[in-house]
Structure 1
């Protein structure tokens, strides 16, 4: 079953969030320290991902073009609107805005190499080990995030399942059209681009900046397009040099 890893990931987030709701006895100062620790870990994770890029100009261009598109489409506001709609359904909470928990957790759980690589493994090879590992990590993070940000974190399971599920289903067919070398390059540069977004999430959690990370999300698609263009251009140059 291609979607098994994705479904397990979604269940882990929901389960972790459910457990996090019962951490009410923990003092706020401890929750704040936990959130800061998570923010630091997320920032370091993002830096590591960003440094994996082999063509950093692609990352820069992807963030610039993707950010412009995201601002044009106003993705951050639309994602927040979904969170606010959820808040009207579940009611106000003491721990903070449902929208904040939903948006923060969605970005952390969706923007990352494991989402892409794991979903591709599930679709291409029916192997779910990467997504099982991600499920354990996300489940633990969901406990901590929910204890600090509230029930909005639980609803992040929905976009995670939709995003990873779409990649998985696409991957069941993509190997017919995309050679392995191009696929590897796509993963590297999308990971690098996503890493910068992860750093931005960490800075937001630390209160260092207020970056509209959701508006950068189109950069992931732009990175894939640019890698494809560069690879094709290199092939054309190599072919022309061979003729000359």
Structure 2
């Protein structure tokens, strides 16, 4: 992620713009499908979506947790994971990020939803967490800001568009408004890339992806099993992940 001249003639920030457009487009397609889906189809799609998100989270965690050494397969970072998640949970619960996120969802619902749009807030929160948490969002935004290379965000745009088709076909228009936190989150990283890049070394981003994947797993669990894990209140764990990545434990 070193600064170079590769992207001098490229438009910085184009990755987030394309990503946001893909989310909206996927949402529109999903809303079209929702009108023709019976409840039993919505239920099975929800289960499939939850299962998919669970395995995306598991894959990310295992990729960062397990390493192959001369003596075989070893684990790493488990104590740092525990510290990051516990301290992140305490911090997030103190701030009550989950409540503020739902309050925003409720406000958007009052402004833009219809009376029968019961899944608006859940769709907004779940979709926001799914598309905003992850290494692609952070690393892609950094690359876009530092070099003008938005290729990673273009790939993410395709994935997010497909995810939004499914989310909106189940939850309705609330999921489409996940474009707001996506645009603000990735855009702010792109604009401040030169400032945050020294803190996000390759090792730090790797560990941040580790914790982010664990949170994505929690989102999938909520979708699949109707659990009530307050994933938004766990978000400060990502900050602790960057702070703790170099600890020798």
Alignment TM-score, normalising by the size of structure 2: 0.86
**Paired residue secondary structure (2:227):** coil
The residue number in structure 2 matching 1:90 is 112
- Between the aligned partners of 2:116 and 2:168, the Cα distance in structure 1 is 12
Instruction: Report if aligned partners of 1:7, 1:161 keep a CA contact under 8 Å in 2.
Output: yes
Give the counterpart of 1:109 among 121, 131, 142: 131
**Paired residue secondary structure (1:21):** helix
Instruction: Report if aligned partners of 1:8, 1:132 keep a CA contact under 8 Å in 2.
Output: yes
- Between the aligned partners of 1:7 and 1:78, the Cα distance in structure 2 is 26
- Between the aligned partners of 1:134 and 1:188, the Cα distance in structure 2 is 18
The residue number in structure 1 matching 2:15 is 5
Matches within 5 A, 1:127-138: 127-138=149-160
Matches within 5 A, 1:46-57: 46-51=57-62, 52-53=64-65, 54-57=76-79
What is the deviation of 1:209? Answer: 2.1
The residue number in structure 2 matching 1:67 is 89
Is 1:45 paired with 2:56? yes
- Residue ranges of structure 2 left out of the alignment (5+ in a row): 1-10, 66-75
What is the deviation of 1:95? Answer: 4.8
What is the deviation of 1:144? Answer: 0.9
The root-mean-square deviation of aligned C-alpha atoms, in Å, is 1.7
Instruction: Report if aligned partners of 2:146, 2:194 keep a CA contact under 8 Å in 1.
Output: yes
- Between the aligned partners of 2:103 and 2:232, the Cα distance in structure 1 is 12
What is the deviation of 1:221? Answer: 0.8
Instruction: Report if aligned partners of 1:58, 1:189 keep a CA contact under 8 Å in 2.
Output: no
The residue number in structure 1 matching 2:233 is 215
- Between the aligned partners of 1:137 and 1:25, the Cα distance in structure 2 is 23
- Between the aligned partners of 1:5 and 1:125, the Cα distance in structure 2 is 12
**Paired residue secondary structure (2:245):** helix
- Residue ranges of structure 1 left out of the alignment (5+ in a row): 235-244
- 1:43-64, CA deviations, whole angstroms, 9 ceiling, x for partnerless residues? 0110111121442222211111
Is 1:147 paired with 2:169? yes
Give the counterpart of 1:30 among 41, 62, 78: 41
Matches within 5 A, 1:162-241: 162-175=184-197, 177-178=198-199, 183-227=201-245, 230=247
Alignment TM-score, normalising by the size of structure 1: 0.88
What is the deviation of 1:186? Answer: 0.7
